[in-house]
Amino acid sequence: MKLNQDTQYIKSLKLKPEDLPSYETFPFSLPVIKNFTELFFHPNVTYIVGENGMGKSTLLEAIAIKFGFNPEGGTLNFNFSSYDSHSILDQYLLLSKGVYRPKDSFFFRAETFYNLATNIEELDEFPSSGPKIVDSFGGKSLHKQSHGESFFAAFTNRFQGNGLYILDEPEAALSPIRQLSMLTRIHELVQKGSQFLISTHSPMIMAYPNAKIIELSEEGMNETQLENTGHYSIMKQFFEDKERLLHHLFQ
């Protein structure tokens, strides 16, 4: 059953501006923090979009850490660190959770998924009476698949439903047809009581019907529609008048 405002797992996010050390240092110098307004999440799918440097991934990382995830991704049970590079933004956020808790959870980070796959293999080397962790990802080593295949193995096998799924640029290694397949998987999981928070540059990924899209810019945070995002506009312009756009680019 789809989640609603009464049953969603995370509801809203606030910033504690009175505690910020300075807007001149990272991550507080990011546009998303300088212009932060309270963020209300959709019960099913919320997208955080915008140009590079606006703070999408940093904000998503801080939300995930605040909820209890490992900074490099995985389920709430993962606890490893390949390189301690996450920001301290989570310490200055107030995350409002719902009364219900997800039965499943996953923080997917495209840039650290290789580290997660390595940690899975390391953990599975130790003798155990239970199933191996990789079995929940389809049973095949994530390192012995292409980047895109390993990404999709997580989406199709590991995500079980009734879950909170925070995804940072999941399209990074996915072909256009795989991105469409991912929309199908998101829909299946939404019908099974899941909530998604997704940072993406892909207009295809952000096309899920009735989702909330929050676009970050130098001016602040703005709720918008797919057709009004910068990503959609530039792709539409490219395909409708490619020659003219390329002409201007190559001047």
Residue/partner pairs of 114-119 with CB below 8 Å, 24 or more apart: 114/143, 115/72, 115/73, 115/80, 115/82, 116/72, 116/73, 116/74, 116/78, 116/142, 117/141, 117/142, 117/143, 117/150, 118/82, 118/143, 119/74, 119/78, 119/80, 119/82
10-249: CATH architecture: 3-Layer(aba) Sandwich (3.40)
Q: Please tell me the predicted confidence (pLDDT) of residue 80.
A: 63
CA–CA dist 109, 210 (Å, integer): 24
Please report, rounded to a whole number, the percentage of residues in the chain having pLDDT higher than 90: 52
Q: Strand, helix or coil at 33?
A: helix
pLDDT tens per residue, range 5-27:
999 999 999 998 788 888 888 88
| Burial of 113: CB neighbours in 10 Å, binned 0-12, 13-18, 19+ | buried
pLDDT tens per residue, range 144-160:
888 788 888 888 988 99
Provide φ and ψ at 82, rounded to 5°: -85, -35
Mean pLDDT (whole number) for 174-196: 96
Q: Please tell me the predicted confidence (pLDDT) of residue 149.
A: 87
Residue/partner pairs of 136-144 with CB below 8 Å, 24 or more apart: 141/117, 142/113, 142/116, 142/117, 143/114, 143/117, 143/118
Mean pLDDT (whole number) for 33-62: 93
What residue segments make up the domains of the chain, in order of their start? 10-249
pLDDT tens per residue, range 102-129:
999 999 888 777 777 787 888 778 766 6
Mean pLDDT (whole number) for 61-87: 80
Please report, rounded to a whole number, the percentage of residues in the chain having pLDDT higher than 70: 96
| Burial of 221: CB neighbours in 10 Å, binned 0-12, 13-18, 19+ | buried
* Region for residue 74 given its phi and psi (left: phi exceeds 0; alpha: psi -120 to 50; beta: otherwise): left
pLDDT above 90 for 133: no
pLDDT averaged over every residue in the chain: 89
User: What do you get for the CA distance between the two ends of the chain, in Å?
Assistant: 54
pLDDT band at 82 (very low <50, low <70, confident <90, very high): low
Q: Please tell me the predicted confidence (pLDDT) of residue 162.
A: 97
Q: Say how many C-beta atoms besides its own lie within 10 A of residue 188's C-beta.
A: 13
Better-predicted residue by pLDDT, 124 or 245: 245
Model-level pTM greater than 0.85? yes
Answer yes or no: are the C-beta atoms of 124 and 132 closer than 8 Å. yes
CA–CA dist 228, 225 (Å, integer): 5
